[in-house]
Structure 1
Amino acid sequence: MRSVGAVWELAAQAELERAGLRLVARNWHCHYGELDLVMREGEVLVFVEVRYRDSAASADGTASIGPAKQRKLVRTADMFLAAHPDFANHTCRFDTVAFSGSGDNAVCTWQRAAFEAY
Protein backbone atom coordinates (compact mmCIF):
# COMPACT_ATOMS: atom_id res chain seq x y z
CA MET A 1 0.00 0.00 0.00
CA ARG A 2 1.53 3.25 -1.15
CA SER A 3 0.40 5.42 1.77
CA VAL A 4 1.87 3.01 4.32
CA GLY A 5 5.15 2.99 2.42
CA ALA A 6 5.20 6.78 2.31
CA VAL A 7 4.88 6.95 6.10
CA TRP A 8 7.92 4.70 6.60
CA GLU A 9 9.92 6.47 3.89
CA LEU A 10 9.34 9.77 5.71
CA ALA A 11 10.34 8.11 9.00
CA ALA A 12 13.52 6.81 7.36
CA GLN A 13 14.27 10.23 5.91
CA ALA A 14 13.84 11.83 9.36
CA GLU A 15 16.15 9.23 10.93
CA LEU A 16 18.83 9.80 8.29
CA GLU A 17 18.52 13.59 8.52
CA ARG A 18 19.01 13.33 12.30
CA ALA A 19 22.25 11.52 11.49
CA GLY A 20 23.35 14.40 9.23
CA LEU A 21 22.37 13.18 5.76
CA ARG A 22 20.58 15.56 3.38
CA LEU A 23 17.72 14.68 1.04
CA VAL A 24 18.43 14.82 -2.69
CA ALA A 25 15.33 13.02 -4.02
CA ARG A 26 12.41 10.92 -2.81
CA ASN A 27 10.58 8.28 -4.85
CA TRP A 28 12.65 8.85 -7.99
CA HIS A 29 11.30 6.73 -10.87
CA CYS A 30 12.57 5.48 -14.19
CA HIS A 31 11.65 2.49 -16.36
CA TYR A 32 13.88 0.18 -14.25
CA GLY A 33 12.23 0.99 -10.95
CA GLU A 34 12.14 3.42 -8.04
CA LEU A 35 14.63 4.78 -5.55
CA ASP A 36 12.90 5.34 -2.22
CA LEU A 37 15.39 7.95 -1.02
CA VAL A 38 18.52 9.52 -2.46
CA MET A 39 20.55 11.25 0.24
CA ARG A 40 23.95 12.90 0.61
CA GLU A 41 26.38 12.27 3.39
CA GLY A 42 29.13 14.78 2.70
CA GLU A 43 30.29 13.99 -0.82
CA VAL A 44 28.83 10.46 -0.78
CA LEU A 45 25.56 9.88 -2.64
CA VAL A 46 23.47 7.34 -0.74
CA PHE A 47 20.70 5.33 -2.41
CA VAL A 48 18.34 4.12 0.32
CA GLU A 49 15.87 1.25 0.11
CA VAL A 50 13.22 1.43 2.86
CA ARG A 51 11.45 -1.69 4.12
CA TYR A 52 8.72 -2.21 6.69
CA ARG A 53 7.43 -5.32 8.42
CA ASP A 54 4.49 -4.96 10.80
CA SER A 55 5.66 -7.75 13.04
CA ALA A 56 8.98 -7.79 14.85
CA ALA A 57 8.77 -11.57 14.53
CA SER A 58 8.83 -11.48 10.71
CA ALA A 59 12.06 -11.58 8.82
CA ASP A 60 13.98 -8.33 8.75
CA GLY A 61 12.91 -6.24 5.77
CA THR A 62 16.53 -5.98 4.70
CA ALA A 63 16.62 -9.75 4.13
CA SER A 64 14.01 -9.33 1.38
CA ILE A 65 16.43 -7.33 -0.77
CA GLY A 66 17.91 -10.24 -2.71
CA PRO A 67 20.26 -10.24 -5.70
CA ALA A 68 17.54 -9.49 -8.28
CA LYS A 69 16.27 -6.47 -6.30
CA GLN A 70 19.86 -5.31 -5.79
CA ARG A 71 20.53 -5.44 -9.55
CA LYS A 72 17.32 -3.48 -10.16
CA LEU A 73 18.36 -0.82 -7.63
CA VAL A 74 21.83 -0.56 -9.19
CA ARG A 75 20.35 -0.09 -12.69
CA THR A 76 17.93 2.52 -11.35
CA ALA A 77 20.78 4.32 -9.58
CA ASP A 78 22.75 4.31 -12.86
CA MET A 79 19.79 6.00 -14.55
CA PHE A 80 19.58 8.55 -11.72
CA LEU A 81 23.26 9.38 -12.20
CA ALA A 82 22.77 9.70 -15.96
CA ALA A 83 19.85 12.08 -15.37
CA HIS A 84 21.80 14.08 -12.77
CA PRO A 85 25.35 14.48 -14.14
CA ASP A 86 26.32 16.80 -11.25
CA PHE A 87 26.52 13.65 -9.10
CA ALA A 88 28.43 11.53 -11.63
CA ASN A 89 31.78 11.86 -9.83
CA HIS A 90 30.42 11.25 -6.33
CA THR A 91 31.17 8.08 -4.46
CA CYS A 92 27.93 6.11 -4.14
CA ARG A 93 26.66 3.52 -1.71
CA PHE A 94 23.49 1.54 -1.13
CA ASP A 95 21.94 1.60 2.35
CA THR A 96 18.81 -0.01 3.73
CA VAL A 97 16.54 1.28 6.45
CA ALA A 98 14.18 -1.36 7.81
CA PHE A 99 11.40 -0.90 10.33
CA SER A 100 9.78 -3.78 12.19
CA GLY A 101 6.93 -3.64 14.64
CA SER A 102 4.05 -1.23 14.75
CA GLY A 103 3.52 2.44 15.37
CA ASP A 104 5.72 4.16 17.91
CA ASN A 105 7.18 0.80 18.95
CA ALA A 106 8.70 0.12 15.52
CA VAL A 107 12.39 -0.68 15.60
CA CYS A 108 14.60 1.00 12.98
CA THR A 109 17.63 -0.78 11.57
CA TRP A 110 19.90 1.27 9.31
CA GLN A 111 22.44 -0.76 7.39
CA ARG A 112 25.12 1.35 5.72
CA ALA A 113 26.66 -0.14 2.57
CA ALA A 114 24.09 -2.95 2.67
CA PHE A 115 25.32 -4.26 -0.68
CA GLU A 116 27.81 -3.40 -3.41
CA ALA A 117 27.04 -2.39 -6.97
CA TYR A 118 28.10 -5.23 -9.25
Structure 2
Amino acid sequence: MAGFTTKEAGDEGERRALDHLVRHGLRLVARNYRVAAGPRRHGGEVDLIVRDRDGTLVFVEVRMRRNPRHGGAAASIGASKQRRVRLAARHYLQSFATPPPCRFDVVVIDGGALTWLQAAFTDE
Protein backbone atom coordinates (compact mmCIF):
# COMPACT_ATOMS: atom_id res chain seq x y z
CA MET A 1 0.00 0.00 0.00
CA ALA A 2 2.93 2.28 -0.62
CA GLY A 3 1.88 5.77 -1.61
CA PHE A 4 -1.48 5.54 0.18
CA THR A 5 -2.44 7.88 2.99
CA THR A 6 -3.59 6.15 6.17
CA LYS A 7 -7.21 6.98 5.29
CA GLU A 8 -6.84 5.64 1.75
CA ALA A 9 -5.20 2.46 3.03
CA GLY A 10 -8.02 2.01 5.58
CA ASP A 11 -10.67 2.54 2.90
CA GLU A 12 -8.93 0.00 0.67
CA GLY A 13 -8.79 -2.49 3.55
CA GLU A 14 -12.52 -2.04 4.21
CA ARG A 15 -13.25 -2.50 0.51
CA ARG A 16 -11.24 -5.74 0.42
CA ALA A 17 -12.96 -6.97 3.57
CA LEU A 18 -16.42 -6.17 2.20
CA ASP A 19 -15.64 -7.88 -1.11
CA HIS A 20 -14.55 -10.97 0.81
CA LEU A 21 -17.68 -11.02 2.97
CA VAL A 22 -19.99 -10.49 -0.01
CA ARG A 23 -18.30 -13.40 -1.82
CA HIS A 24 -19.25 -15.50 1.22
CA GLY A 25 -22.92 -14.53 1.01
CA LEU A 26 -23.16 -11.58 3.42
CA ARG A 27 -24.99 -8.37 2.42
CA LEU A 28 -23.92 -4.84 3.30
CA VAL A 29 -26.30 -3.01 5.66
CA ALA A 30 -24.18 0.00 6.71
CA ARG A 31 -20.65 1.27 6.49
CA ASN A 32 -18.68 3.33 9.02
CA TYR A 33 -21.51 3.61 11.53
CA ARG A 34 -20.44 6.16 14.17
CA VAL A 35 -21.90 7.29 17.47
CA ALA A 36 -20.71 9.94 19.92
CA ALA A 37 -20.25 9.07 23.58
CA GLY A 38 -20.12 12.55 25.04
CA PRO A 39 -17.58 15.16 26.07
CA ARG A 40 -14.11 13.78 26.76
CA ARG A 41 -15.20 10.24 25.94
CA HIS A 42 -14.44 8.25 22.84
CA GLY A 43 -17.45 7.36 20.79
CA GLY A 44 -17.86 4.18 18.88
CA GLU A 45 -17.62 3.06 15.30
CA VAL A 46 -18.36 -0.08 13.37
CA ASP A 47 -16.50 -0.37 10.07
CA LEU A 48 -19.05 -2.65 8.40
CA ILE A 49 -22.49 -3.89 9.36
CA VAL A 50 -23.53 -6.86 7.26
CA ARG A 51 -26.29 -9.43 7.35
CA ASP A 52 -25.44 -13.12 7.14
CA ARG A 53 -27.57 -15.58 5.20
CA ASP A 54 -29.27 -16.82 8.38
CA GLY A 55 -30.36 -13.26 9.30
CA THR A 56 -27.61 -12.65 11.86
CA LEU A 57 -26.51 -9.03 11.97
CA VAL A 58 -22.72 -8.94 11.92
CA PHE A 59 -20.70 -5.99 13.23
CA VAL A 60 -17.29 -6.11 11.56
CA GLU A 61 -14.08 -4.43 12.65
CA VAL A 62 -11.46 -4.24 9.89
CA ARG A 63 -7.80 -3.93 10.85
CA MET A 64 -4.86 -3.71 8.53
CA ARG A 65 -1.13 -3.74 9.13
CA ARG A 66 1.56 -3.49 6.50
CA ASN A 67 3.97 -5.49 8.62
CA PRO A 68 3.74 -7.49 11.85
CA ARG A 69 6.36 -5.51 13.82
CA HIS A 70 3.81 -4.45 16.43
CA GLY A 71 2.00 -7.76 16.78
CA GLY A 72 -0.05 -7.82 13.61
CA ALA A 73 -3.52 -6.51 12.89
CA ALA A 74 -5.44 -8.82 15.25
CA ALA A 75 -3.29 -7.76 18.20
CA SER A 76 -4.41 -4.16 17.68
CA ILE A 77 -8.01 -4.91 18.69
CA GLY A 78 -7.79 -4.53 22.44
CA ALA A 79 -10.41 -4.15 25.13
CA SER A 80 -10.97 -0.42 24.54
CA LYS A 81 -11.51 -0.91 20.79
CA GLN A 82 -13.95 -3.74 21.50
CA ARG A 83 -15.85 -1.46 23.93
CA ARG A 84 -16.16 1.22 21.25
CA VAL A 85 -17.45 -1.27 18.67
CA ARG A 86 -19.97 -2.63 21.22
CA LEU A 87 -21.11 0.92 22.05
CA ALA A 88 -21.85 1.65 18.39
CA ALA A 89 -23.54 -1.75 17.91
CA ARG A 90 -25.82 -1.22 20.92
CA HIS A 91 -26.76 2.20 19.60
CA TYR A 92 -27.49 0.78 16.15
CA LEU A 93 -29.66 -1.99 17.62
CA GLN A 94 -31.91 0.55 19.36
CA SER A 95 -33.64 1.08 16.03
CA PHE A 96 -35.05 -2.48 16.14
CA ALA A 97 -38.23 -3.36 18.04
CA THR A 98 -36.81 -6.87 18.35
CA PRO A 99 -33.07 -7.01 17.71
CA PRO A 100 -31.91 -9.85 15.46
CA PRO A 101 -29.21 -12.32 16.50
CA CYS A 102 -25.82 -10.57 16.33
CA ARG A 103 -22.13 -11.31 16.37
CA PHE A 104 -18.86 -9.42 16.26
CA ASP A 105 -16.42 -10.41 13.53
CA VAL A 106 -12.97 -9.11 12.70
CA VAL A 107 -11.29 -9.04 9.32
CA VAL A 108 -7.53 -8.64 9.57
CA ILE A 109 -5.22 -7.87 6.70
CA ASP A 110 -1.56 -8.48 7.51
CA GLY A 111 0.67 -7.55 4.61
CA GLY A 112 -1.56 -8.80 1.82
CA ALA A 113 -3.10 -11.77 3.65
CA LEU A 114 -6.77 -11.42 4.64
CA THR A 115 -8.20 -13.46 7.53
CA TRP A 116 -11.86 -13.43 8.61
CA LEU A 117 -12.33 -14.14 12.31
CA GLN A 118 -15.98 -14.96 12.97
CA ALA A 119 -17.37 -14.31 16.46
CA ALA A 120 -14.02 -12.79 17.41
CA PHE A 121 -15.45 -11.19 20.56
CA THR A 122 -18.75 -11.00 22.39
CA ASP A 123 -21.08 -8.31 23.74
CA GLU A 124 -20.12 -8.62 27.38
**Bucket of the pairwise TM-score, normalised by the shorter protein:** 0.7 to 0.9
Q: Between Structure 1 and Structure 2, which shows a larger proportion of helix residues? A: 1
Q: Aligned residue for 1:4? A: 9
Give the TM-score, by structure 2 length: 0.84
Looking at secondary structure, tell me which structure has more strand per residue. 1
* Structure whose CA Rg is larger: 2
CA distance in 1, matches of 2:82, 2:68: 23
Q: Distance in 2 between matches of 1:17 and 1:56?
A: 27
Describe how 1:1-118 pairs up with structure 2 within 5 A.
1-31=6-36, 32-42=43-53, 43-56=55-68, 58-82=70-94, 84-85=95-96, 88-101=98-111, 106-118=112-124
Is the 8 Å Cα contact of residues 59 and 89 (structure 2) preserved in structure 1?
A: yes
Aligned-pair RMSD on alpha carbons? 1.4
After TM superposition, the runs of 4+ consecutive aligned structure 1 residues lying more than 6 A away are none
Structure 1: tracts of 5 or more residues without a match: none
Stretches of structure 2 that go unaligned for 5 or more consecutive residues are 1-5, 37-42
For the residues of structure 2 that align with 1:100 and 1:58, how far apart are their CA atoms?
Answer: 11
Give the C-alpha shift of residue 52 in structure 1: 0.4
Higher deviation after alignment, 50-59 or 65-74: 50-59
Q: Matches of 1:18 and 1:45 in 2, distance apart?
A: 17
* Percent identity (aligned): 41
CA distance in 2, matches of 1:113, 1:60: 19
Give the corresponding residue for 2:3: none
Aligned positions, number: 112
